[in-house]
Structure 1
Amino acid sequence: MADHTLISPGDPAAAVTAPRRQGTATPVCAPAARLWPDFLTGQEKSPVRVLLIDDDEYMRRVIAQELLSDLRIQLEGQADSIREGRKLLATHAFDVLMVDLRLSDGMGFELIAEARRCHGNAEIIVISALEDDAHVLRAFELGATGYLLKNAWLQSFADAVLHVVNGGAVITPRLARRLLHRLNHQPREQQLTDGASPPRDTTLTPRESQVLRHVASGCVSAEIGAKLGITGQTVNVHIKSIYKKLQVHSRAQAVNLAVHTGLI
């Protein structure tokens, strides 16, 4: 008969004994709580503000419950349509917009474009059942920094929020793998010419160049801020300015273009 020991979730010193096979008795320790440095965006005293727009009531409730269970995140409002979503965008301050693409009264692309136009420093995560390349790439072209599939395993909506506000990007792994496959099978010449080139007289300020070099080194916004003596939010402002000047929508695009044009 299997021998199990139950533990309380709040007891960090407890351990779980796995079912024993004959002749073995290997204990499995409860996973340690993850550390969350105080220099990262998203703290209990200053949580990340999120708007959630999805017309799938069940999915919206699942996501909302996960966000509400994380004290580093504050769910500011929910909506189930483009019409109600526009009201949220107009009346709430927010750091992250989580939006479905297929809403009852239209496509979520409209809200992505409006959020990017009116709330330039906000991050946008798409949550959708649509996984074809056209919808995914269009969302990123409009300025989304995340794309999560509703039916995917091994992903956390709360972690996704915290990733994007700290300078990262999130994408369901099977989508990422497919896009990488597409990129790997695209001719090199086409990769370099597909994106819009910035104007020839484009220049970056000394501070923007510093920020972009740190981005190229793999640093997140909070780390860049600590190195330069500015806040992570100020770093994100510089990054948005770089995006606009270079006519790109992601850090990877900015670094790639800046390297090939000699800006850094």
Structure 2
Amino acid sequence: MTDPHGPRPPIRVLLADDEAMIRAGVGAILAADPGIDVVAEAADGREAVDLTLRHRPDVAVLDIRMPRLDGLRAAEELRRAAPETALVMLTTFSEDAYITRALGSGVSGFLLKSGDPRELIAGIQAVADGAAFLSPVVARRVIAQLGAGRLSRAAEARATLEPLTAREREVVALVGSGLSNGEIAQRLYVVEGTVKAHVSAVLGRLGLRNRVQLAILAYEAGLVDDARAADAG
């Protein structure tokens, strides 16, 4: 979403990976985008936590397998200590166990090192805007997991969302569709602060940790399909 008050400042990013070559490569990709500023680099998870608390970046990009403190444990610490920093996992591994743990740790993005560099930029921009982002490979795995038992979970998901107001359900459906707060505000003709308030209220009421969990719930309840059908109609 374009800021009506002027150019958006660069997204401040911390990059953590124990392999110097990977840090150099990913750092070069990020440095080539004028909208991103890498403010710190870390070689292990403990350093990533310390530097995040020092620099307070908008986004922390964490490798999963790092010494001293792995990326998942670092994410759990940062979710508590620096909730304003969005978390992205960058890894060569796409096993379901890693995905499940990452999503449970409050991670907003999950990207593969073997992916297109454009995915890296898009993912960082998305989570900085308050949305969630999964690489296509990871998204297919998550959808497959959901689809395997979707009918048995759909009723439970709908019951969970039942107490929400009609407007809150609209917001949840759009979160599930991958829209940022700014994009949702434009769609619903409200200010972005109103959307943030709705999302925070829903997360608190439903006991969810982040937008990814909310998006999955929206998918299971069929709200995403309903929203797409309304757009098509």
TM-score (norm 2): 0.76
Alignment-derived partner of residue 148 in structure 1: 111
Check if 1:79 corresponds to 2:42: yes
SS of alignment partner, residue 224 of structure 1: helix
Alignment-derived partner of residue 29 in structure 2: 66
Identity of aligned residues (%): 26
Query: For residues 48 and 172 of structure 2, what CA distance do their matches in structure 1 show?
Result: 33
Check if 1:246 corresponds to 2:206: yes
Alignment-derived partner of residue 2 in structure 2: 38
**Closer, same or farther in 2 for the Cα pair 1:54/1:163, shift >3 Å?**
same
Q: Contact 1:64–1:75 (CA<8 Å) still a contact in 2?
A: yes
Alignment-derived partner of residue 100 in structure 2: 137
Alignment-derived partner of residue 7 in structure 1: none
Q: Contact 2:153–2:220 (CA<8 Å) still a contact in 1?
A: no
**Closer, same or farther in 2 for the Cα pair 1:87/1:215, shift >3 Å?**
closer
Deviation at 1:107, TM superposition (A): 1.6
Query: For residues 187 and 230 of structure 1, what CA distance do their matches in structure 2 show?
Result: 34
Larger radius of gyration: 1
Alignment-derived partner of residue 13 in structure 1: none
Measured on the aligned residues, the alpha-carbon RMSD in Å equals 3.3
SS of alignment partner, residue 103 of structure 1: coil
Does 1 or 2 have the higher relative contact order (CA < 8 Å, sep 6+)? 2
Structure 2: runs of 5+ lacking an equivalent: 224-233
Paired letter, 2:127: V
Paired letter, 1:242: V
Check if 1:104 corresponds to 2:67: yes
Structure 1: runs of 5+ lacking an equivalent: 1-36
Alignment-derived partner of residue 230 in structure 2: none
Deviation at 1:125, TM superposition (A): 0.7
207-216 or 234-243: bigger deviation: 207-216
Q: Contact 1:243–1:254 (CA<8 Å) still a contact in 2?
A: no
Alignment-derived partner of residue 116 in structure 1: 79
Q: Contact 1:242–1:254 (CA<8 Å) still a contact in 2?
A: no
Query: For residues 66 and 44 of structure 1, what CA distance do their matches in structure 2 show?
Result: 22
Alignment-derived partner of residue 225 in structure 1: 185
Query: For residues 128 and 22 of structure 2, what CA distance do their matches in structure 1 show?
Result: 22
Q: Contact 1:96–1:165 (CA<8 Å) still a contact in 2?
A: yes
Deviation at 1:213, TM superposition (A): 5.9
Residues 71-126 of structure 1, C-alpha deviations (whole Å, 9 max, x = no match): 11111111011221121122112211110111022321121112211222322110
Alignment-derived partner of residue 128 in structure 1: 91
Residues 12-53 of structure 1, C-alpha deviations (whole Å, 9 max, x = no match): xxxxxxxxxxxxxxxxxxxxxxxxx6249xx86511111111
TM-score (norm 1): 0.68
Alignment-derived partner of residue 8 in structure 1: none
Residues 102-159 of structure 1, C-alpha deviations (whole Å, 9 max, x = no match): 1022321121112211222322110012211011111011111111111234643122
Paired letter, 2:199: I
Q: Contact 1:82–1:103 (CA<8 Å) still a contact in 2?
A: yes
Whichever structure has more helix as a proportion of its residues is 2
Alignment-derived partner of residue 89 in structure 1: 52
Query: For residues 118 and 203 of structure 1, what CA distance do their matches in structure 2 show?
Result: 30
How many residues align? The count is 217
